[in-house]
Each structure stands twice: as structure tokens, then as C-alpha cells.
Structure 1
């Protein structure tokens, strides 16, 4: 009995357990350090006598320890035998000091009989502790089953996500290698062509220099002869004796006539001009090398062929161009948009179901057209651009008028993207319906009167 009273004296009035690291407030009441800190954080006064705790001593680590109580509390815990009932953490109602015999399902907490009848618990649902335990245990069992099922589902998601991360990393590495290989191929081609064109230039320069150097040697030899003849003539002119003068001049020049000796040599000679040229590589090098690269690198733009059952269009230019037939339409620009599906349509003979595909269409100055797939396309009505999908149309704002459109279809991700093919600037991307594939490329024009502006699929 004395031991029980001794333990009660060493019990914290907040947690109802033997003190752990006890501290003493200014009023003399003692509590566990953690309990006192949490209570003072809510209200800076003693939880037992409500005396204000002033100064900066409201933090748990600032409260003074009670070493005597700490020592006694440790002895009390050591004196309790394993068989002896330990002081319960929750035994009495902290508000009414009555035994906790009920469980409030509304507040999810233990309560006493006085709590049940208090205003704070008015209308709440109560059950005896054992019945409440049974109900809560059953609910908790169902909860554990649901949590277990949810954990398995989340684990499956995590596993799938890890696989996707791995796939993404592998795809990135594959694309990096592919990009490096393709750029290496282009770099090798450009370096090889640069070396070949420079070698050609060097060879032409050497040939030109040889020709001009040979001509310079001839000119310099003629100049030397003329200067030597001039010197001999001047020397002969200094002879005053007529016989000696005639004899000297005629003997030195092998009896050549004055006309032959004094012929104008400049008329016989000419200047060789530099003549080597690289032709178009001199002024249009990048364009011609680009054209060569198209043949070597093998670009993957689709070489689509068009087909149409529409009586209002003609497929021309090896099934690449779409031209409107002479029609009875008048005031075309006032017709509703999108265009009627029975007029001016064509499809590609190729159908797409897998892989990635890209093609370009030259629309030129045409005012009314639609390009894409059957139910997903980019359209122009002469003033505005729009992206059209089933039951949805979205306006697109562009700074410049489009002359050539690029279309990129990714069948695996089911996306169709539109580009300005001249600048390769991205215009928009649409998601395709699940039943959109396989699909053919879609082309639609509207016209009135003679149509001289074809819509053409670009081939490379």
C-alpha cells in the first residue's frame, strides 16, 4: 500500500505515469519535461494550479530538472515487479478523475460517465470499453485488409513506375546513340566533301599556277633578249668608223634584217589570267552540298502518293499534287468551315498503324485547306488557323503565314504534331483517339473557278 502511495506521489498529473526527466515549475508543481513543454506551448501556466509561468522558461529545454524526483522515480520504476500492475497511463479521466469506462466513437477517445453527460459530448455515440474495443477491432481488421490490398496495388504501381523509369533511361541512351551515329554520319560526309572540294581547289590552283608560271618564263626570256639586243645596238652606235660599224652590226646579228630584229615582241606575248573555278560550289556551296547530302544521308520524309474519289479534284504530278476542278461554287470564302467532306478531298495510298512518320506539304498561297489525318487536322480558312479534332476545334495563333507544313505522326504515343516546315517551329500536337489508327494522311482543298495553285506533297 505504501509502495502504491509512493508511486502515486511520483506520478505526472498530465500523462498519469511515473515521472520521466521531471522538471519543477515556479509554483512548485512537477511534471515530465515533455509533458510540461507541450502544455506550456499551448498555455504559459501551470497545468495543475494555473499559475502563470513567466520569463523565458516556457520552453521544455529551459525548465530546471528536479534531480531528487528523478532519482525517486527511477527507484519506483525499479521497485515494480513484472507481476505487479504498473501505473496506467490512462486510468482516470483527467478532467473528472473518474474511471474511464466508455469509448466515444464521435471523438474517438476514452471517456467517463460524467463526460458522457457533459455538454461537450452532447449527441455523441458511446459504448462500453469492451464493446467499443470489439467494434473498433473489427473495423481495424477491415482497415488492415484494405490497407494491405492498397499496399499491394501501390507496390505494383511502384514496380511499374520503376520499369518505366528503366525504359525511359534505356530509350534515352538508345536515342543518344542513334543521334550520335546520325550526326557522325553527317559530320563524316561533310568532312569528306570538304576535303574533296579543297583538294579539287588545290589541284586547279596548281594547274593554273603552272600554266601562268610557264608563260611568265616565256615573257621574261623575250624581255631578256630584247634588253640584250638593246644593249648591243647602243654599243654599235658608239662606233664612228663606217666600215667597222657595218661589220660589227651585221656579224653580231647573223645578218638578220633590221625588221626582224626590231619586231614588236609584246604583240607576240600575252598574259595568262587565272581561270580555275569550282563552278556552283564557288557561290552556292552549301546548297549543292545539301543536295548531295540528301542523296547520301537518305532522309526519312515519307514519299506519299495521293488517291481520291472526289470529282472536284485532280491528282497530278506523279500523284503528288492536288488541284481543284472547275466547279460551280461561287463566293467560296463565305461557305461554312470546315469544308464539306464531299468536296476536294484526297488521302494517301499509305496507311499508318505503327512506327513514326513525317511528311511535308507545300500549300503555297492557297487560302482554304485542311491537312492531317481523317479526323485530326490543321486547317486554314484564309484568315485563321485551327486544329480540329472530333467535337473540338482549337484556334492557333501564328506570327507568319505558313507556306509549307510538316506533319509528324507517332503511332506508339498516338500523337500527331504540326510544324512550320521552313523553320521547323512546332505549331501544335493533338492526341489521337484509340480507334484512329490505322489511318491515311488527309488532304482537303476548297476552290472556286479555275485552280492554278496546287497543294503538293514534298518528296526528297
Structure 2
């Protein structure tokens, strides 16, 4: 197929044969030197485009050495092709008539081949029957490949859209970061450069991952198109032996099931997923904590609410204290927790835990708040069903289906919580050093969540748990 097309490109339009001593006229068209001479003898015009030609003698035209070399190769390829077609009727191993087709090895075979040890257990059919079976499969493939190519093109289109979104997000965040860093001095300019470099690296990694996937998709698309062209061309061969020989040799004896399988259902679109974490939406606040200088921080000013009679909320609704703190000498009879009306999550809280939620609810965007836990060593902080737990000694990240221990270099006095509703993640930080503690993926069933706080009974309790306001 390829050699046939190659020869067509190297055919003289006058004699309809492969170029012999090709020359090129001033207009760019090429002919055999003899053909060009005969045409110019009639009139000084190109026989193909009719443009006037300065040189009218064929022997004055320069030879086209590139065309000559290609023409010689094309003639050699035609000769090899003719020899191969002549040999197709006989088995190259046994010199017997090729009357069978081995479906196992996907090749023509003779009677002796069928009975040989190499083909033991293989499936054979007469050539005409094999031709009908494979031709039908190939016809079905050609019929269905268009839809598969369309599906692959759709995957590639959606991947390009994700790449475009990634670029737009990167540009938007770069502008946002630049405008905020303008309010800072030399140290802040250095931090701006550091964070921008982080963004560029993340965006570069994101682009690399998605571009690599797009390359895979486009390779699959190219392969399908190439296979479509080969299959369509092969179907034009009417001779059964030549048809089977051409198709199986071109495809390295692969089974039709492997060659003709759909590709689109195994391709995916890589999403644009890079994130700068809290620096996307709370950059100034985080840098302010590093600089301890005046900026315009952005943190949630949460207010607490609870129905439990065992705790009181003070300090404008942001500090949580056990009620027993004010009645340290009171003696309780029985279980003092028997009348609690608490919002519980089955199996996740101690019976002595008091749970408090923020009056604010979050369903979209990014949110950050800090909680001063002071010297308390028993608490839980997070959102509905997901929290960081300190049980006196060990820090543990908890969720409905997972619990994992985390290690902090020092006991944290303030805990920062970053909720990203877009990526459905909750991150915990040591707010004093802005050290990342852990991040948990969220599987939220409700459309909105609240900040969650829990403390356990200590008698007396002089140490409140306080939401930080800035």
C-alpha cells in the first residue's frame, strides 16, 4: 500500500511511468528528461500548468538527483512486491500449495503445515472460508471505527479544555497573589517569589500529567486512523490469498480481537487538580502569621452554639468552658451526663464528650479558622464527622471510615483548620508554626457542614477552648 502510493508520487504525468532521469522546470513541475524534451519541442510551456518556460532544450535542464534516487527506490520496491506476489501461492517451508489459513497464528498454511508439530492444536479453515470470516470482521471494524474515533476525539477535546482551565486558573491565581504581595515589604516580596515558584511548579506538574495523557489519547487516535486506512485499503484486495497475506503481515500476526478492539472506553481525561492549599484563598493571613506584621487577614470569625446544659459559651460566643468549672465543689449523684442532649456520631465519641458546632455553615469556597486549645490535652476539632483528636497523648485524624495516628514535634497550642469545599478536603495545621499536620478527604452526604468542637469533662476546668478572631 505504502509503496504503491510512493510510486504514484514519483510518476511522470506524460508517460505515466516512474521517472527516468527526472528534471524540474522553472514552474516546479517534474518530468522525465525525454518527456520534457518532447513537450518543449512543441512549445516553450509546461505541459502540466502551461506556464512559459525559459529553457526550451531538455539537455539544458538540471537533473533532480533527489527524484532520481527516490524513483530508483520505487522501482526496486515494485520489483520486490512482484516477486512476493508470485511466491504467495506456495508454502515457503514445504513448497506446497497454500490452501489453509491458521487462525491461531494468523497466517496462510499448507496441508503439511497443518499436520506439523508447530501447528498442533491450531484452528484451520480453507482459504475461502477464512477469507469470508476475516473479511466480515474487518468490514464490521471499518463500519464501527468511525464512532470509536469520534469518541477518542471527544476525549482529546475534553482534555484540551481541562488544560485550558488549568492555564486560566494559574493566570488568575498569579494575578491574585501579585495584588496581595504589593502590600508587603522586602520579606514579603521574597515570599511572593517563593509562592509563585511553587504555583508554577504545581501548574507545570499538572500540565505535564495532562499533556502526557493527551499524548496517549492522540496516539490512540492516530493508531485508530492508521488502522482504518490499512483496513480500508486491504478490503480493496479481491484475491483471497493476497488479502489474507497482506492483512496478517501488516499487523504482525496479531489476532483480530486485539487489533480491532475499541480504544475510547479505555481512555480517560486527567482533570486539572493542582492546588496551592490555603495560599489560594488565605495567602495574606498565612504570610501574616509568618511575618507578624500588619496586613489584611482573612479568617472565619466563628460563633459557637450548643444545647448542652453542661457547658457555657463565653467571650462573644467564641470560648467553650465546662459548666462544672463554676461548681467545682458541687457533688453530683448518679451519672451527671444522663440528661445530655448531644448531637452524636455513632461509635466515634466518648460518652463524656460535649459537642459544639458553629452557627455558620459551609457549602462552597475555602474557609480557614484557628482554635486556641491552650493547655488542654483532651479535645476534638474539625467538621461534621471529620476531626483531629487529642486523647491526652496521641494525635489522631478521624473520619467515618478511617482513623490514623499523626505525630507532632511539639504540643500544639493553636490548631488551624482549612476547609476546601471544591476539592472536598480538610487540612489541619499547627497554627503557631503553620506546620501542616494532615489532610483528610471528605465524603459529605449533606450540602452544608459546620465547624465542630468537642471537649471532655475535667473537674475543675479552668482552661477554655477558644476560636481565634483577627
TM interval, shorter chain, is: 0.5 to 0.7
SS in 1 for 2:157: helix
Residues 231-250 of structure 1, C-alpha deviations (whole Å, 9 max, x = no match): xxxxxxxxxxxxxxxxxxxx
**Cα offset, 1:113, TM superposition:** 1.1
What residue in structure 2 maps to residue 116 of structure 1?
114
CA distance in 1 between partners of 2:386 and 2:448 (Å)? 13
SS at match of 2:183: helix
| CA distance in 2 between partners of 1:143 and 1:109 (Å) | 20
Distance 2:104 2:382 in 1: 61
Runs of 5+ unmatched residues, structure 2: 1-71, 190-287, 325-331, 338-345
Tell me how large the CA RMSD over aligned residues is.
3.5
Higher relative contact order (CA 8 A, sep 6+): 2
Which residue number in structure 1 is paired with residue 306 of structure 2?
308
The match for 1:344 among 324, 336, 354 is 354
Displacement of 1:350: 0.5
Distance 2:181 2:142 in 1: 57
Contact kept in structure 2, 1:365 and 1:453, CA below 8 Å: yes
TM-fit CA distance, 1:187? 3.8
TM-score, normalisation: structure 2: 0.54
Q: Secondary structure at the match of 1:315?
A: strand
- 2-side partners of 1:113 and 1:147: how far apart? 36
Runs of 4+ in 1 over 6 A off after TM superposition: 73-78
| Map of 1:155 onto structure 2 | 153
For 2:261, the equivalent position in structure 1 comes to none
**What's the CA shift string for 1:163-199, capped at 9, x where partnerless?**
11111111111111111111102349x99xxxxxxxx
Contact kept, 8 Å, 1:329 with 1:448, in 2: the verdict is no
Change (3 A) 1:445 1:76: closer
Task: Please name the residue that 2:138 is paired with.
Answer: 140
1:427 paired residue number: 437
Q: Do the aligned partners of residues 119 and 167 (structure 1) sit closer, same or farther apart at CA in structure 2, a change above 3 Å counting?
A: same
User: What is the Cα deviation at residue 342 of structure 1?
Assistant: 7.4
How much has 1:420 moved relative to structure 2? Answer: 0.9
Larger Rg over CA atoms? 1
Matches within 5 A, 1:24-63: none
SS at match of 1:412: coil
| 8 A contact 2:426–2:442 mirrored in 1 | yes
- Aligned pairs, how many? 282
Q: 1:76 and 1:356 mapped to 2: Cα distance?
A: 67
Provide Cα deviations, 1:340-380, integer angstroms capped at 9, x if missing partner. 37731100100001111100001111111111111111111
- Which residue of the partner structure matches residue 392 of structure 2? 382
Report the 3-state secondary structure (helix = DSSP H, G, I; strand = E; otherwise coil) of the residue aligned with 1:88. Answer: helix
Please point out which of 373, 390, 393 is paired with 2:383. 373
CA displacement at 1:87 relative to structure 2: 3.7
Aligned to 2:192: none
SS of alignment partner, residue 185 of structure 1: coil
Aligned counterparts of 1:424 and 1:382: Cα–Cα separation in 2 = 22
* Alignment partner of 2:172 out of 171, 174, 179: 174
| Preserved contact between residue 353 and residue 439 of structure 1 (Cα < 8 Å) | yes
- The aligned counterpart of 2:469 is 459
Q: Which residue, 316, 331, 351 being the options, matches 1:318?
A: 316
Q: Assess if the C-alpha contact under 8 Å between 2:100 and 2:110 holds in 1.
A: yes
Listed as ranges, the gaps of 5+ residues in structure 1 are 1-70, 192-285, 331-335
1:298 aligns with 2:296: yes
Answer whether contact 2:426 2:440 (CA < 8 A) is retained: yes
Deviations 1:69-121 (A, max 9, x none): xx9x979968x9x9x99843532111111121111111111111111111221
Q: 1:87 to 1:101 in 2, by over 3 A?
A: same
Deviations 1:227-276 (A, max 9, x none): xxxxxxxxxxxxxxxxxxxxxxxxxxxxxxxxxxxxxxxxxxxxxxxxxx
Shift of the alpha carbon at 1:386?
A: 1.1
Q: Which of 98, 101, 126 lines up with 2:99 in the alignment?
A: 101
What displacement does 1:318 show? Answer: 0.9
Tell me which of 393, 397, 411 is aligned to 2:403: 393
Cα distance 1:298–1:125, how it changes in 2: closer, same or farther (>3 A)?
A: same
| Farther-moved stretch of structure 1 (345-354 vs 128-137) | 128-137
Q: How does 1:179-198 map to 2 (within 5 A)?
A: 179-187=177-185
| Cα distance per residue 1:310-332 (max 9 Å; x no partner) | 233221111101112328579xx
In 2, Cα distance between equivalents of 1:166 and 1:425:
33
**How far apart are the structure 2 equivalents of 1:394 and 1:90?**
68
Distance (Å, rounded) in 1 between the aligned partners of 2:126 and 2:451: 74
Does residue 361 (structure 1) correspond to residue 371 (structure 2)? The answer is yes
Task: Provide the secondary structure at the position in 2 that maps to 1:186.
Answer: coil
Determine helix, strand or coil for the equivalent of 2:173.
helix
Question: Do the aligned partners of 1:310 and 1:342 also contact (CA within 8 Å) in 2?
Answer: no
Counterpart-to-counterpart distance in 2, 1:76 and 1:370 = 79
